[in-house]
Chain A
Amino acid sequence: MTRLALPDPAALALAVSARDRLALAQALNLLDDRRPAARQCAATFLDALPAEKQASGGHLIGITGPPGAGKSSLTATLIQVWRRRGLKVAILAVDPSSPISGGALLGDRLRMHASGADREVFIRSLACRGEFGGLSAEVWPMSLAMLAAFDIVLVETVGVGQKEIDVSKMTDTTCFVAQPASGDSIQFLKAGIMEIPHVIVVNKEDIGMAARKTLSELKTTLGRRTDSDGWQAPALSASAALGSGIEALADALDRHRHWLLERGQFTVRRHRCQAEWLVKHLREEFGRHGINRLGGEQVLFAELAHAPRRSPIAAYEELRARILPNP
């Protein structure tokens, strides 16, 4: 292999859609590749993926919550439930470990080890490379590649406040894992700092009283509030350690997908995810000033809502070109 070797994007897209694991791994490497030639190749690759899968296929789920809430172990048990239901699962684990000098330890894989040698489970870890507010700019394009090959794509991130919870804007369904006996999430919800997720789950119900108390406080706080689409978030409790409440959690996540589909909201939301990614990415690179050059956020979102579907990288490069002064 030489250092400049890039794959044939059309062939790669075909292989990924045929669920070739090596092809998916190469595609993720390509989407991680910062070199200009690779970016172009990645854009072509994304455009070559089947459009229908991109627009409405699979289920893209975000799972987030404070450190130590047990997201990874909950994910591990969810994987088992989904596998029993015959679903193929891909995970993007964004590791919270703070970047030290460019190096990073990616530990999520260890914490969700339950997948063993199952070839229908695919886990890619991503270092949160000190950018994109706790997420990682590659998450969205990588999610799209995974959706072409898997039934469920789950993005795991750490998040408690406003900034970190951005994963909720780039997934179909967001699940917030609350830590029992910690009032933080409730305070954030009350104060409106945290957007209401689609499903809230209190993990570690095995510890008993404290978990039940947190659950009832969450239920009170949520009351009859709904998100902007009109969905009312259920609050559940589960225990990754005991494996209890996991089936119900999987059901709740799936109910939200059905709810979106029934209302014809699913494709709209997916489309909106890409717009959110584009705007966030532009803001990271150019600041508010850059967004203003495109008419401000509201105008930009309206424009993107009606733009035809295309690869995020190509769309981004076009917007970028409009912001940058002509050479």
Chain B
Amino acid sequence: MTTPVKRDKPWLMRTYSGHSSAKASNELYRTNLSKGQTGLSVAFDLPTQTGYDADHPLARGEVGKVGVPIGNISDMAALFDQIPLGQMNTSMTINAPAAWLLALYVAVAERQGATPAQLQGTTQNDILKEYLSRGTYIFPPQPSVRLITDIIAYTVKHIPKWNPTNICSYHLQEAGATPTQELAYALSTAIAILDAVRDSGQIGAEGFEQVVGRISFFVNAGIRFIEETCKMRAFGEMWDQLAAQRYGAQNEEMRRFRYGVQVNSLGLTEAQPENNVQRIVLEMLGVALSKNARARALQLPAWNEALGLPRPWDQQWALRMQQVLAFETDLLEYGDIFDGSPVIAAKVKSLVDGATAEMARVQEQGGMVPAIESGYVKRQLVTSHTARMRAIERGDLKIVGLNCYRETEVSPLTGGVDSGIMKVDPRAEREQIERLNAFRAQRNTTEVKAALANLAETARSGANIMPASILCAHAGVTTGEWSQTLRDIFGEYRAPTGIDIPANDDSRSARAVAIRTQVIQTGEELGRPLRLLIGKPGLDGHSNGAEQIAVKGRDVGFEIVYEGIRLTPEQIAKAALEEGVHLIGLSVLSGSHVEMVEDVFNYLEQAGLKNLPVVIGGIIPESDAVLLKARGIAAVYTPKDIDMNGIMVDILNLIRKHHDLPPVAAI
């Protein structure tokens, strides 16, 4: 036996999970921990993330779907039942109501007997990126920045081991960002937040280094893993400089770029989904190989994410990938294996230069907040994503199984009774509402009213929101009540869609021109230009698909009405009528497509538009597609439909068919 080699401590291993109810998620967490997971990563459902109670009309169909519903302190207590919070490290993907969920967490910890100072974990709390991707913002940018700031100031003083904000470049990549854009916009967001904390006066100059040291990041890792390694090294360099120069952080420790990772979902395919396994492993290398730029925490998606919700076994597989890399390979026995490589150094430099230039452009516009409000940043992302989609469509960007090497055997992985995905129990929503009603019935309403009045007063006065929120948590306030109180004071917001970008070269391709000619011709036959309504019903904020269809539709000659994310089915039917559209395209990625379509059809019928053609796009399992078509949906598109021009011809022919015109010849 040789003496054991000294190995580095591995990163925190997590799986982003939560579904159905607090109780079901608690069981899942405890199972995962027993399998060797070292931290928790809580996925909340969309009503919780957007601040609605389970019985709110907007929550219909969404309760317990993409995460766990947390409506009050009793849900939070059930979520962490038998999990001692004083010893756990918990990451919570929560943004607009981050202060509220942290308050519930603190309150539950107090009831468990833990002190705030013991608590370790992360609130994502990067609301700015929600305006660009993901879409679970509630309030306008200014009050959002204030909420982020309050959480930072509070935790630095009272929960010193907490990561109050996880500035996210992750979702920017999902929305199409290039590595340069990821660097530039994440660091510009950090500047906006740190400036706001400094200007709030809540932390004195002497404590500011602490604040800088508590800022952490949440980054994406795509399949180009060499470039991703360089991106992480570039992040480290740029953050170190920014912390030292702009914020005067002396202590090197406080300038360290600390980050967690979820590897890329954008590149995972529905076609031949088993290939996603090797994609996920390679993407993990990008954030693990370089010791000096290694992730502190890692969570991997499941191989079947593009098909639907992963099952416990799928998540276990993802965890085992991390464990094999950390414990079987020799990765953790070496220092940084890239130091001194001229190839890596040159690539890092080019990323730093590009990002520095883009950051300067953002600063010229007054910083990240104005650049978001004007739609500038979102337009840049839509432009990048459009270029990516066109490259895939043309075959210039190769994706195995999707646009090349498509021949395949039948996969045994997706053949089981559950088609290889998990279905949330349809009773979950009703049961959550029953629990909510029972909770409301037993609480002290006088105390609740007083706590909410105190919250409102705090919000108006500009004092730190956290203490008032913790009082609300103990008093039995619900997620919907906390959020509505702030909605009434801060107002709500709708972010720019970013789709108003110039037409690109592909819109001048022969095929696009031919389609456009036919679209205009059909418009003349029907008397007026063809109009499409692109609608995103429900709380889901994943808007890439809707944006790409909108841009493409415009480029081939349609008039496009697109109102952004989070519309009610009633609003969609209303817009369809008022705008006199020829066809509706819905986009739903949260798994609530069946309920949404049902509601949209009901409202269309009430409006007198029973026969208007409706198509839908999203992550829709084949069995549901059959169901939707039986209900009257004219066409279903999923991520494997990459021929955007083909979709446009389809839509044109659906409109023609509806008006008794023969289809156009193949284009």
Q: How far is the CA of A273 from the CA of B524 in the complex (A)?
A: 29
CB-based contact A106/B560 at 8 Å: yes
Q: Which of B497, B516, B578, B659 has a CB less than 8 Å from the CB of A107?
A: B497
CB-based contact A122/B578 at 8 Å: yes
Known pairs A25-B580, A34-B527, A124-B579; A104 contacts B560 (CB<8 A): yes
What distance in Å separates the Cβ of A294 from its nearest Cβ neighbour in chain B?
29
What distance in Å separates the Cβ of A126 from its nearest Cβ neighbour in chain B?
9
CB-based contact B562/A107 at 8 Å: yes
A28 at interface (Cβ–Cβ under 8 A)? yes
Q: What string of 1s and 0s marks CB contacts (under 8 Å) between B548-584 and chain A?
A: 0010011111111111100010110011011110000
Q: Chain A residues near B577 (CB, 8 Å)?
A: 21-22, 25
Q: Chain A residues near B562 (CB, 8 Å)?
A: 105-107, 110
Q: What string of 1s and 0s marks CB contacts (under 8 Å) between A1-34 and chain B?
A: 1110000000000000000011001101100111
Q: How far is the CA of A125 from the CA of B581 in the complex (A)?
A: 11
Q: How far is the CA of A124 from the CA of B577 in the complex (A)?
A: 9
Q: How far is the CA of A204 from the CA of B315 in the complex (A)?
A: 50
A116 at interface (Cβ–Cβ under 8 A)? yes
What distance in Å separates the Cβ of A157 from its nearest Cβ neighbour in chain B?
17
What distance in Å separates the Cβ of A138 from its nearest Cβ neighbour in chain B?
9
B81 at interface (Cβ–Cβ under 8 A)? no
Q: Chain A residues near B192 (CB, 8 Å)?
A: none
B520 at interface (Cβ–Cβ under 8 A)? yes
Q: Chain A residues near B555 (CB, 8 Å)?
A: 100-101, 103
What distance in Å separates the Cβ of B475 from its nearest Cβ neighbour in chain A?
30
CB-based contact B526/A3 at 8 Å: yes
Q: How far is the CA of A268 from the CA of B665 in the complex (A)?
A: 54
Q: How far is the CA of A119 from the CA of B603 in the complex (A)?
A: 13
Interface SS, A side: mixed
Q: Chain B residues near A241 (CB, 8 Å)?
A: 140
Q: Chain A residues near B570 (CB, 8 Å)?
A: 117
Known pairs A22-B577, A110-B494; A102 contacts B529 (CB<8 A): yes
A163 at interface (Cβ–Cβ under 8 A)? no
CB-based contact A3/B660 at 8 Å: yes
CB-based contact A29/B580 at 8 Å: yes
Q: Chain A residues near B400 (CB, 8 Å)?
A: none
CB-based contact B658/A1 at 8 Å: yes
Q: How far is the CA of A3 from the CA of B523 in the complex (A)?
A: 11
CB-based contact B658/A123 at 8 Å: no
Q: How far is the CA of A273 from the CA of B151 in the complex (A)?
A: 57
Q: How far is the CA of A308 from the CA of B563 in the complex (A)?
A: 42
B residues 170-225 touching A (CB-CB < 8 Å): none
CB-based contact A123/B550 at 8 Å: no
Known pairs A2-B659, A104-B554; A109 contacts B516 (CB<8 A): no
Q: Chain B residues near A111 (CB, 8 Å)?
A: 494
B413 at interface (Cβ–Cβ under 8 A)? no
Q: What string of 1s and 0s marks CB contacts (under 8 Å) between B493-528 and chain A?
A: 010010110010001000000001001100111111
Q: Which of A28, A35, A113 has a CB less than 8 Å from the CB of B580?
A: A28
Q: Chain B residues near A104 (CB, 8 Å)?
A: 554, 559-560
B661 at interface (Cβ–Cβ under 8 A)? yes
Q: Chain B residues near A97 (CB, 8 Å)?
A: 500
A residues 106-160 touching B (CB-CB < 8 Å): 106-107, 109-111, 113, 116-117, 119, 122-125, 127, 129
Q: Which of B497, B499, B527 has a CB less than 8 Å from the CB of A38?
A: B527
**Which residue from chain B places its CB closest to the CB of A24 in the assembled complex?**
B578
**Which residue from chain A places its CB closest to the CB of B576 in the assembled complex?**
A25
Q: Chain B residues near A109 (CB, 8 Å)?
A: 561, 563, 575, 579
Q: Which of A3, A105, A106 has the most CB of B within 10 A?
A: A105
B607 at interface (Cβ–Cβ under 8 A)? yes
Q: Which of B516, B523, B528, B660 has a CB less than 8 Å from the CB of A101?
A: B516
Q: How far is the CA of A213 from the CA of B140 in the complex (A)?
A: 26
What distance in Å separates the Cβ of B60 from its nearest Cβ neighbour in chain A?
14
Q: Which of A28, A110, A122 has a CB less than 8 Å from the CB of B564?
A: A110
Q: Chain B residues near A22 (CB, 8 Å)?
A: 577, 607-609
Q: Which of B527, B556, B570, B659 has the most CB of A within 10 A?
A: B527
B350 at interface (Cβ–Cβ under 8 A)? no
Q: What string of 1s and 0s marks CB contacts (under 8 Å) between A244-271 and chain B?
A: 0000000000000000000000000000
CB-based contact A105/B527 at 8 Å: no
Q: Chain B residues near A122 (CB, 8 Å)?
A: 578
Q: Chain A residues near B579 (CB, 8 Å)?
A: 106, 109, 123-125
Q: How far is the CA of A110 from the CA of B563 in the complex (A)?
A: 4
Q: Which of A102, A117, A125 has a CB less than 8 Å from the CB of B561?
A: A125
Known pairs A38-B527, A110-B562, A125-B561; A116 contacts B580 (CB<8 A): no
What distance in Å separates the Cβ of B585 from its nearest Cβ neighbour in chain A?
14
Q: How far is the CA of A35 from the CA of B523 in the complex (A)?
A: 11
Q: Which of A1, A116, A127 has a CB less than 8 Å from the CB of B559?
A: A127
Q: How far is the CA of A105 from the CA of B520 in the complex (A)?
A: 15
**Which residue from chain A places its CB closest to the CB of B140 in the assembled complex?**
A241
Q: Chain B residues near A123 (CB, 8 Å)?
A: 575, 578-579
A residues 84-99 touching B (CB-CB < 8 Å): 97
Q: Which of A1, A26, A32 has a CB less than 8 Å from the CB of B528?
A: A32
Q: Chain B residues near A32 (CB, 8 Å)?
A: 527-528, 580
CB-based contact A101/B497 at 8 Å: no
B611 at interface (Cβ–Cβ under 8 A)? yes
Q: Chain A residues near B557 (CB, 8 Å)?
A: 101-103
CB-based contact B528/A100 at 8 Å: no
**Which residue from chain B places its CB closest to the CB of A206 in the assembled complex?**
B142
Q: How far is the CA of A76 from the CA of B494 in the complex (A)?
A: 12
A residues 205-228 touching B (CB-CB < 8 Å): none
Q: Chain B residues near A110 (CB, 8 Å)?
A: 494, 497, 562-564
**Which residue from chain B places its CB closest to the CB of A39 in the assembled complex?**
B527
What distance in Å separates the Cβ of A44 from its nearest Cβ neighbour in chain B?
16
**Which residue from chain A places its CB closest to the CB of B512 in the assembled complex?**
A101
Q: Which of A38, A110, A122 has the most CB of B within 10 A?
A: A110
Q: How far is the CA of A21 from the CA of B607 in the complex (A)?
A: 8
CB-based contact B528/A106 at 8 Å: no
CB-based contact A100/B554 at 8 Å: yes
CB-based contact A105/B580 at 8 Å: no
Q: How far is the CA of A107 from the CA of B497 in the complex (A)?
A: 9
**Which residue from chain B places its CB closest to the CB of A2 in the assembled complex?**
B660
What distance in Å separates the Cβ of B171 from its nearest Cβ neighbour in chain A?
21
Q: Which of A28, A102, A117, A125 has a CB less than 8 Å from the CB of B520?
A: A102
B residues 402-423 touching A (CB-CB < 8 Å): none
30 interchain pairs, CB-CB under 8 A: A1-B611, A1-B660, A3-B659, A21-B577, A32-B527, A32-B528, A33-B528, A34-B524, A34-B527, A34-B528, A102-B529, A103-B558, A104-B559, A105-B499, A105-B500, A106-B559, A106-B561, A107-B499, A107-B500, A109-B561, A109-B563, A109-B575, A109-B579, A110-B563, A113-B494, A117-B568, A117-B571, A122-B578, A124-B578, A125-B579
Q: Which residues of B contact A (CB under 8 A)?
A: 140, 494, 497, 499-500, 503, 507, 516, 519-520, 523-529, 550, 553-564, 568, 570-571, 574-575, 577-580, 607-609, 611, 658-661
Q: Which 6 A-B pairs have the closest CB atoms?
A: A33-B527, A103-B554, A22-B608, A102-B557, A32-B528, A29-B580
Q: A102-B519, A103-B516 are in contact. List 15 more A-B contacts (CB 8 A).
A: A3-B661, A22-B608, A32-B528, A97-B500, A100-B555, A101-B557, A102-B523, A103-B555, A104-B559, A105-B499, A123-B579, A124-B580, A125-B579, A127-B529, A241-B140
